Amino acid sequence: MAIGLFKDGIEPGRLAPAEYADNFSDLHPPLDKHEALVEADRCYFCYDAPCMQACPTSIDIPMFIRQIATGNPLGSAKTIFDQNILGGMCARVCPTETLCEEACVREKAEGKPVQIGRLQRYATDEAMEQGKQFYTRAEKSGRKVAIVGAGPAGLAAAHRLTSYGHDVTIFEAKPKSGGLNEYGIAAYKSTHDFAQAEVDYVTAIGGIEIEHGKALGRDIHLGELSEQYDAVFLGMGLAGVNALRAEGEDALGVTDAVDFIAELRQSTNLSRLPVGRRIVVIGGGMTAIDAAVQSKLLGAQDVTICYRRGQEDMNASEFEQDLATANGVVIRHWIQPKRVLIENGKVSGIELEYTVMRGGKLTGTGETLVLPADQVFKAIGQQFDANALNGSRPKIALEKGRIKVDSEGRTSVKNVWAGGDCVADAREDLTVAAVAAGRDAAESINRFLKA
Amino acid sequence: MADIRNNFVGIKSPNPFWLASAPPTDKAYNVVRAFKAGWGGVVWKTLGEEGPPVVNVNGPRYGAIWGADRRLLGLNNIELITDRQLQLNLQEIKQVKKDWPDRALVVSLMVPCVEESWKAILPVVEETEADGIELNFGCPHGMSERGMGAAVGQVPEYIEMVVRWCKANTRMPVITKLTPNITDVRRPARAAFAGGTDAVSLINTINSITSVNLDTFSPEPSIDGKGSHGGYCGPAVKPIALNMVAEIARDPETAGLPISGIGGVTTWRDAAEFLALGAGNVQVCTAAMTYGFKIVQEMIAGLENWMDEKGHQTLDDVCGRATKNVTDWQYLNLNYIAKAHIDQEACIKCGRCYIACEDTSHQAITSSVNGVRHFEVMEDECVGCNLCVNVCPVENCITMVPLAAGVLDQRTGKTVSPEYANWTTHPNNPMSKQAAE
Ligand SMILES: Cc1cc2nc3c(=O)[nH]c(=O)nc-3n(C[C@H](O)[C@H](O)[C@H](O)COP(=O)(O)OP(=O)(O)OC[C@H]3O[C@@H](n4cnc5c(N)ncnc54)[C@H](O)[C@@H]3O)c2cc1C
Ligand SMILES: Cc1cc2nc3c(=O)[nH]c(=O)nc-3n(C[C@H](O)[C@H](O)[C@H](O)COP(=O)(O)O)c2cc1C
Ligand code: SF4
Ligand code: SF4
Ligand code: SF4
């Protein structure tokens, strides 16, 4: 029986069983064939299409949409996968409103872009449901590449490398592949265990070995890898979490939002997942939104996102912000955490300070307020855990706390490449950007191996 | 308020919108619904001679092509003339005319090409008090193989002969419906005129195969794996019909011959265009078959509104107004120079104009300026072909702007002449040279 929204504390089973399924169903449900055809007909087949330029993986969007419109969804899927082998996941999780769909000329024309993401899902779903594989491995090159991390960057790199005939071994710290696709993306964006289905689809090409439970810096070391393999690709994401730097942040009930989400994503029975009655989420990005919305969907009564700057500074897109408010989340701006209030060893609230911009610098005004809370999520960004690189000889150069790479993804070490969230580059921290980085690094590695 | 009452060869109707002879006019039930919806008149579905009626196929009889969002652009059919008993049709025609005296009711006819057959049917039609007859010389399939329909319509001598028989044997006005499946539509029109027809109506449907089923390799519509050509109609045929109407309207040999315009009329605009090119009224089939009879209300309101806006009081103010502007290519003014112009405010930057001009026209549009996506016409390259206007998805975003006389045409480096000059006198024309020598 549901215990309801009003019970204090961090408790499971706030909702009736059926409500969980409802709340965590597809955020953007798939288009059926008719819907896909109607939508595909809206595309103008633009020249040097703005949508395509805005796609970090440069998918030929007008072409794949035209292929849907002309009754060739498999050809469409191939057009997508040619550029982005994780096109299925990207179709679900890309913030299209700030990428392709923002650039779509019909956004300018009518404020209603072509629904590129949903069309991409239509085509890729079709191919994956049919188990259609478009790629085969080239003749074996006899070269071996080690990849660290089976997230989007690692998987994209692996697929491209094996297609060139190189043997790939992925070392993955976690028990499952997929990276944040499996452990981080909001549940309503990746339903029905899609992340694992996609890993299977990508690795079905062959030549990709994944060793789970193998962490770089613990079980394996970069020095060995770079000696034993012809090339190494690091796609380790961001394993560390930024500190709140607020008093009391170690109290019971203060949790990293990414850990909460990972637990949620791995839960096989959401009614057993405990969630607070009053929740405060600190942060302004996608993680903050996801933690807040999913808490709400688990039955939390009051969820407030507190962000220390203004609305326009939030990393979460307008669509994401609207999604949160539509789900009853309150977003407050210009307040920063000061102190976690504790009663009986548990969180009872959080004291926050108002902020302003003074002389181009964010400063606290000194004035504070208190929000009652039985759970506080920290969503103020992840950081790269450079400890994992222990033992690299010579030492890998870092930049802004992440791995330094050139435009091809080469690190400072001769046969080591890196890409995705773990590097300092111009790309955003997005699934699709990680795919692009992995793919491009694989091209660079291939050129290196064939030279 | 504009007066859109129509008087076509003495047949009066409250508006110029008639339903063409086709399934929408096959029986009293449909025609009464049409009149209730507001149609000004109907041409009853073509009647054949007394005896066992024709039979239709029992499988699909329509094929189609579509535009974006599956909007029907062209329809094709392999239907024949009415497959109902002659007597039943005649009874219904009589009753409907009695109940709807203010509407036009014309009866379409197709009987074998012998005078007795026409002599037999004309009196029984007259007896219904119908307003007139339309001779179906157009049906391109099924009937033509039996020596009727297009088989008559493609031979001007037969047309003249049959029209003459009809004029001799009935007091009713005779409208001759022409087939477009010929090379020069003026020939059959002249023949009908010579035979004494009161009017021509056109076009009937165009021979066509709309598609091929790529699983079975049968043309569509497919009857047990086989298909035959059918008659094409709907929005896609409008340009062909407009041209044929104009050809007849401006032919001095048939001057004054009334025309009922048919083919792809879907909106009030289409109708107004037919009228402007010389049609006295219009007939509609596919649009009604696509959207139902209610569309006539849009046509009526739209036509009235346009006429009010432009100050046209009656249909006579509109009819034939564009005819004199239809000319032959050789008389077009070669000193008229226009350049495409892009309204940057309206432009949504799809780049279609650029790629069309770049790949297939005159490389006259930029794709970027100073590294920024920007589409602009380079006047020194633009030949004014209008392709970009036609591929731009935003209406009126690209317009053709004429150069004023005296202005420099940057493409040719010559100033625009105020004089009219056409091909017949152009120095590159070998014929004009010959004449000069
Ligand atoms: C909560 C949350 C929600 C998000 N939502 C979206 C979204 O909706 N849309 C979007 O586009 N992006 C979203 N992102 C961002 C996106 O998930 C990342 O940008 C993307 O996953 C980065 O891919 P990656 O391959 O670089 O890293 P990851 O996905 O983080 O994968 C890294 C992999 O490396 C493994 N690893 C780490 N360290 C080691 C080690 N030492 N040894 C071996 N293996 C190791 C990890 O276990 C993991 O499997 C979200 C991120 C978060 C945190
Ligand atoms: C199914 C169908 C049956 C038709 N039958 C006849 C007919 O019996 N007699 C006739 O004169 N025209 C017939 N036509 C032609 C129409 O009257 C009309 O000339 C033609 O469809 C073009 O007009 P539209 O583009 O408005 O449809 C038929 C058309 C269709 C679609
Ligand atoms: S910008 Fe929009 S309309 Fe143009 S190709 Fe891309 S999806 Fe199609
Ligand atoms: S009118 Fe023709 S030549 Fe001129 S810009 Fe347009 S497409 Fe090019
Ligand atoms: S086709 Fe029209 S909207 Fe598209 S770029 Fe050209 S002018 Fe702009």
CB contact under 8 A, A47 and B351: yes
Give the tens place of pLDDT for each residue, A156-212. 999 999 999 999 999 999 999 999 999 998 888 888 989 999 999 999 999 999 999
**CA A134 – CA A88 distance, rounded (Å):** 14
Which ligand 3 atom lies nearest to the CA of residue A44?
A: 3
Q: Which amino acid is at B72?
A: L
Beta carbon of B377 within 6 Å of any ligand 4 atom: yes
Phi first, then psi, for residue B306 (nearest 5°) are -65, -45
Contacts of A50 in chain B (CB under 8 A): 349, 373
- CA distance linking residue A349 with residue A341, whole number of Å: 5
Please count the helices (runs of H) and the strands (runs of E) in chain A: 17, 18
Closest Cα to atom 7 of ligand 5 = B347
- Say what the pLDDT of residue A451 is: 84
Q: How many CB atoms lie within 10 A of CB A261?
A: 24
Rounded to the nearest angstrom, the gap between the alpha carbon of residue B266 and the centroid of all alpha carbons in its chain is 10
Evaluate: CB of B347 within 6 angstroms of ligand 4: no
| Burial (Cβ within 10 Å: 0-12, 13-18, ≥19) of residue B52 | exposed
Round to whole Å and give the CA distance between A399 and B408: 59
Interface membership of B214 toward A (CB under 8 Å) = no
CA distance B401 to B343: 12
Best substitution site from B285, B290, B299 to test ligand 2's pocket, by max atoms within 8 Å of Cβ?
B285
Mean pLDDT score of chain A: 93
- As given in the structure block, the two tokens for residue A73 are 């969804």
Distance of CA B342 from the midpoint of ligand 3 (Å): 20
Give the position, in ligand 4's atom list, of the atom nearest the Cα of B384: 1
Whether A7-23+242-380 shares its CATH topology with A144-239+388-450 is answered yes
- Cβ neighbours of B355 in A, within 8 Å: 47
B282 alpha carbon – ligand 2 mean position (Å): 13
CATH class of A7-23+242-380: alpha beta
B69, B367, B393: residue with CB nearest A44 = B393
Instruction: Name the closest-CA residue to atom 29, ligand 2.
Output: B22
CB atoms closer than 10 angstroms to residue B425: 14
Scanning the structure block, which residue is given the tokens 């669509």?
A319
Choose from A33, A35, A44 for mutation: most chain B CBs within 10 A: A44
- Banded pLDDT at A9 (limits 50, 70, 90): confident
Is the minimum distance from the CB of A236 to ligand 1 under 6 angstroms? yes
Q: Look up the ipTM and state it.
A: 0.82
Helix (H, G, I), strand (E, B) or coil at A367: strand
Interval A47-90: pLDDT, tens: 999 999 999 999 999 999 999 999 999 999 999 999 999 999 99
- For residues A240 and A341, give the distance between their C-alpha atoms in angstroms, rounded to a whole number: 25
Q: Is A114 on the interface with B (CB under 8 A)?
A: no
* Atom of ligand 5 at shortest range from CA of B398: 7
Residues of A with CB below 8 A from B68's CB?
A: 41-42
From B113, B139, B285, B385, the catalytic residue: B139
CA of B351 to the centre of ligand 5 (A): 5
Residues A107, A51 contacting (CB under 8 angstroms): no
Domain ranges of chain A: 7-23+242-380, 33-129, 144-239+388-450
Describe the crossing of helices B86-99 and B28-37 by its angle, rounded to 10 degrees.
20
Nearest residue CA, atom 5 of ligand 2?
B22
List Cα–Cα distances, A303 to A192, A254, A341, B129, B349, in angstroms: 26, 14, 17, 80, 42
pLDDT tops 60 at residue A229: yes
Q: Do B349 and A50 touch (CB under 8 A)?
A: yes
CATH 3.40.50.1950 fits B329-436, yes or no: no
Of all ligands present, the nearest one to the C-alpha of B345 is: 5
What is the position in ligand 5's atom list of the atom closest to the CA of B352?
1
CB of A372 within 8 Å of a chain B CB? The answer is no
In terms of Cα–Cα distance, which of B139, B86, B142, B74 is closest to B117? B86
Asked whether the predicted pLDDT for residue A109 surpasses 50, the reply is yes
Query: Catalytic: B397?
Result: no
Ligand nearest to the CA of B381: 4
Q: Rounded to an integer, what distance in angstroms lies between the CA atom of residue A79 and that of residue A67?
A: 9
Name the nearest CA neighbour of A280 among A261, A309, A301, A263: A301
In this complex, how many residue pairs, one in chain A and one in chain B, have their CB atoms less than 8 Å apart? 36
CA-based nearest residue to B78, from B285, B265, B228: B228
Residue with the nearest Cα to atom 6 of ligand 5? Answer: B353
Identify the pLDDT of residue A7.
Answer: 84
List Cβ neighbours of B5 (8 Å cut-off, separation of 6 or more). B12, B13, B14, B15, B314, B315
pLDDT of residue A22: 87
Judge if the beta carbon of residue B112 lies within 6 A of ligand 5.
no
> In chain B, what are the domain boundaries?
6-325, 329-436
Please check whether residue A403 is in contact with residue A219, taking contact to mean a CB–CB distance below 8 angstroms: no
- Chain A residue whose CA is closest to B350: A46
Q: Looking up tokens 């063409």, which residue turns up?
A: B20
Per the rule left: phi > 0, alpha: psi between -120 and 50, beta: everything else, B350 is alpha
More confident residue, A392 or B212: B212
**Per-residue model confidence (pLDDT) at position A251:** 80
Class of residue A359 by CB neighbours under 10 A (exposed 0-12, middle 13-18, buried 19+): exposed
CB pair distance less than 8 Å for B349 and A108: yes
For residue A52, give the ligand 3 atom closest to its CA: 6
CATH dotted code for A33-129? 1.10.1060.10
| Minimal C-alpha gap between A47 and chain B (Å) | 5
Question: Is any atom of ligand 2 closer than 6 Å to the C-beta of B77?
Answer: yes
- Nearest Cα residue to atom 20 of ligand 1: A431
What is the best residue among B337, B342, B358, B361 to mutate for testing ligand 4's pocket, by most ligand atoms within 8 Å of CB? B361
Specify whether the CB–CB gap between A46 and A54 falls below 8 A.
Answer: no
Fold annotation for A144-239+388-450 = FAD/NAD(P)-binding domain (3.50.50)
pLDDT of the residue at A390: 79
With contacts defined as CB-CB under 8 Å, which chain A residues touch B354?
47
DSSP assignment string, B406-423: T-EETTTTEEPPSS---G
**Mean pLDDT calculated for residue range A97-115:** 96
Chain B residues 275-334 with a CB less than 8 Å from chain A: none
Domain B6-325: give its CATH architecture.
Alpha-Beta Barrel (3.20)
**Residues of chain A with C-beta less than 8 angstroms from the C-beta of B388:** none
Residue appearing with tokens 């855990």: A385
Strand A398-399 to strand A402-404: parallel, antiparallel, or no bridges (unpaired)? Answer: antiparallel
Contact A386, A216 (CB under 8 A): no
Which residues in B lie closer than 8 A to residue A111 (C-beta atoms)? none
Of A46, A106, A109, the CB nearest to B352: A46
* CA-proximal residue: ligand 2, atom 15 (nearest): B204
* A45 in reach of chain B (CB within 8 A): yes
Q: Within 13 Å of residue A74, how many CA atoms lie on the same side as its CB?
A: 8
pLDDT at A1: 58
Specify the pLDDT at position B437.
43
Query: How far does the CA of residue A120 sit from the closest CA of chain B (Å)?
Result: 19
Task: Note the pLDDT of residue B421.
Answer: 94
User: What are the two backbone dihedrals, phi and then psi, of residue A150, each rounded to the nearest 5 degrees?
Assistant: -105, 40
Residues of chain B where predicted confidence (pLDDT) is lower than 70: 139-145, 433-437
- Residue A367, chain B, CB below 8 Å: the answer is no
Q: B346 touching A, CB under 8 A?
A: no
Burial (0-12, 13-18, 19+ Cβ within 10 Å), A92: buried
**Residue of chain A whose Cα is closest to the Cα of B68:** A41
